[in-house]
Amino acid sequence: MNVHQPISPWQEGYSLPQEFYISQAIFDEDVRQLGQTQWLLVDHESRIPQQGNYFLFELGSESVIVIRNRSGEVKAFYNVCRHRGSRICLENEGSKRVLTCPYHAWSYDLDGNLRSANLMPADFDPKEVKLAAVHIGIFEGFIFLNFADGTPPDFDAFVAPFRDLLRGHGLKKTKVAVRKTYPTAANWKLVVENFFECYHCNSAHPTYCSVHDKLKMLAFGAGAGSGDDKDMKLYEEKLANWERFSSGLGYPVGMFAHEANSAFFQSGNRLPIADNAKTESVDGNPLAPLMNEFSEFDGGQTGCVFNPLSTLLVNNDHAIFFHFIPKGPRSTDVEAVWLVAEDAVEGADYDPANLMKVWDVTLTEDKTITENNQLGVNSRQYRSGRYSTQERRIAEFVQWYLDKIAP
């Protein structure tokens, strides 16, 4: 019963054929392509404020050292010594004055240049030895990595669509309040498909539904371009009213969604959470102090999909970023990180358990849903299924994936 059906013809508006959700070879190629063509959101700068502070980011067989150098810049290097290949940093995060390999004590400066290596042959030139670099980009305090062997995609072009939408959000002046990983036994594309439609919200997410405006969830439940045409029309006037109010406060408004032929497949929007809700909390009340550049609550939430693996949601008082880390054909780590204003005090100004509540419940529900989706997709009777009018955005994702990423 394990025999895979042959690669089957795919039809627009349908989910992918089975092999794209289970094959090791397709998975390996997916990860390679995503690493080469996308900028992956990995963390917020506030994690490494001082020179020498570092953390490790792991993707597949790769471990990357993300470290702040002596000039205060953030650099990224493969965690692989140029001598015999040992891992150099063994702890998940910490602080280093030099990067010394624990095996034979070859040591590198914080820009990756070899500083010393004992007893090398006479013709060995240490100046030729550098740690392999990973491309790095920083936007609004967020660190993005790209694994291209040659020239990476243009970072400015990558972040340009979000500049306006994130104006005045004060994200550079935030700090990590709490982070949590949800290991999910499913292909990364099933995780993405789950995340970019709200067709399942009604049956699967009672808490999330109690927080968000009902009509908005039908129209834009998973952001720009995710809902039903008719419902979008019905929601138009309400949205226009809120946008006038928010603009009046000097806040940005707007919405865009890239087509499937985009290199990055991005979308952005600002939407009100619900009538009378100040933020995305169980009761609509604030969870933390206003982030630095907001003057008052407008109850809006800014959604930024940088690429299908990297999403950011910003409320007036806290932000959350999500990154999906493919681990295997049937395994993905979903990491969520909650940010608050950098001067907010844990315990006094915010309670991490409250802060994470709505999304912790929702992501836990999504883990179960997505794992059961994978189990069914493993069946030889799985067939590509028709997407509903509330799953338009993932129909577009699937098309983008087939055009830009798939082998």
Residues binding a copy of itself (CB under 8 A):
1-3, 13, 15, 28-29, 31-32, 35, 59-63, 78-88, 90, 102-105, 117-121, 124, 132, 147, 193, 199-200, 202-204, 228, 369, 372-373, 375-383, 385-386, 388-390
Residue placing its CB nearer to a copy of itself in the complex, 16 or 271: 16
- For residue 152, the 8-state DSSP code is P
Contact residues for 75 (Cβ-Cβ < 8 A; gap 6+): 66, 67, 68, 69, 110, 111, 112, 133, 136
Helices (H), 213-329: 214-220, 229-248
CB of 121 to a copy of itself, least distance (A): 6
Rounded distance between C-alpha atoms, residue 313 and residue 309, angstroms: 13
DSSP string, 76-140: EEES--TTT---S--SSEEE-SSEE-TTT--EE-TTSBEEE-TT--TT--GGG-BPPB-EEEEET
**Sheet-wide strand order for 99-100:** 99-100, 107-108, 114-116
CB of 322 to a copy of itself, least distance (A): 20
Residue placing its CB nearer to a copy of itself in the complex, 6 or 85: 85
Residue placing its CB nearer to a copy of itself in the complex, 84 or 97: 84
CB of 374 to a copy of itself, least distance (A): 9
Residue placing its CB nearer to a copy of itself in the complex, 89 or 340: 89
CB of 184 to a copy of itself, least distance (A): 14
CB of 35 to a copy of itself, least distance (A): 6
Burial 42-76 (b: 16+ CB within 10 A, else e): bbbbbbbeebbbbbbbebeebbbbbbbeeeeebbb
Residue placing its CB nearer to a copy of itself in the complex, 285 or 368: 368
Rounded distance between C-alpha atoms, residue 240 and residue 246, angstroms: 10
Rounded distance between C-alpha atoms, residue 244 and residue 109, angstroms: 53
Region of residue 361 (phi > 0: left; psi between -120 and 50: alpha; otherwise: beta): alpha
CB of 397 to a copy of itself, least distance (A): 13
Residue placing its CB nearer to a copy of itself in the complex, 219 or 344: 219
Residue placing its CB nearer to a copy of itself in the complex, 104 or 179: 104
Residue placing its CB nearer to a copy of itself in the complex, 295 or 372: 372
CB of 134 to a copy of itself, least distance (A): 9
**Sheet-wide strand order for 310-314:** 174-184, 331-341, 319-328, 310-314, 300-307, 267-272, 255-257
CB of 24 to a copy of itself, least distance (A): 9
Residue placing its CB nearer to a copy of itself in the complex, 80 or 277: 80
Q: Name residue 176's beta-bridge partners.
A: 339
CB of 82 to a copy of itself, least distance (A): 6
Query: Which of 109, 168, 128 lies closest to 316, judged by CA?
Result: 168
